[in-house]
Amino acid sequence: MPLPGFSCDCLEPGNWNFPESKENSVLETLKERYLLRKSAQVWYLREAYYSIIEPDVRVTFDSSVTALYPGEDLTRTAVVEQRGSVMPDSYMILEVKATERIPAWVSKGVMAGELVQKPVPKYVLAMDKLRMSEFITGAYL
């Protein structure tokens, strides 16, 4: 169901332009050489924050994690209808990155929010959602 008043052409992949680059041609060569094939695609919204006081700290919140089949287009409908959603809409993935140490204020916030620390591999969630892990073998092309 579309959100009232929501319109964003940036969600239409046809509007995205990626310039050709040396890196792209290197990637194409590697894909051919090692027979790399597309697997699950993962799309999500990320809100990122950094600390002005502690510049080595970055906090991100990922939501709307969506699984897509190889080659499946990301469409506005897929995002809005959440048919490939890998977690409840009310969930977010909190990631804290720091080069030195996790600041005390982050630890206190995690404890106060009764958050549980655990790995959340978005790719694995997508593979499970799409039931692709059952089909991935050495012969999957």
Q: Whole-prediction pTM value?
A: 0.69
* All residues at 6 or more sequence positions from 60 whose CB lies less than 8 Å from its CB, including other chains: 46, 47, 48, 49, 94, 95, 97
Give residue 18's identity as a one-letter amino acid code: F
Q: d(Cα 61, Cα 120) in Å, to the nearest integer?
A: 12
Q: What's the CA angle centered on 55, arms 51 and 58, to 5 degrees? A: 60
Taking the domains of the chain in order of start, what are their residue ranges? 38-141
101 with 107: CB under 8 angstroms? no
What is the helix, strand, coil percentage profile of the chain, to 5? 30, 20, 50
Q: d(Cα 78, Cα 83) in Å, to the nearest integer?
A: 6
User: DSSP string spanning 11-28?
Assistant: G-GGG------HHHHHHH
42 with 122: CB under 8 angstroms? yes
Q: What does the pLDDT read at residue 40? A: 86
pLDDT tens across the length of the chain (141 residues): 455 555 666 666 666 665 666 666 787 888 888 888 778 889 999 999 988 888 899 999 999 899 998 888 888 887 777 788 898 888 999 999 999 888 898 899 999 999 988 888 999 899 988 888 766 654 444
Q: What does the pLDDT read at residue 22? A: 64
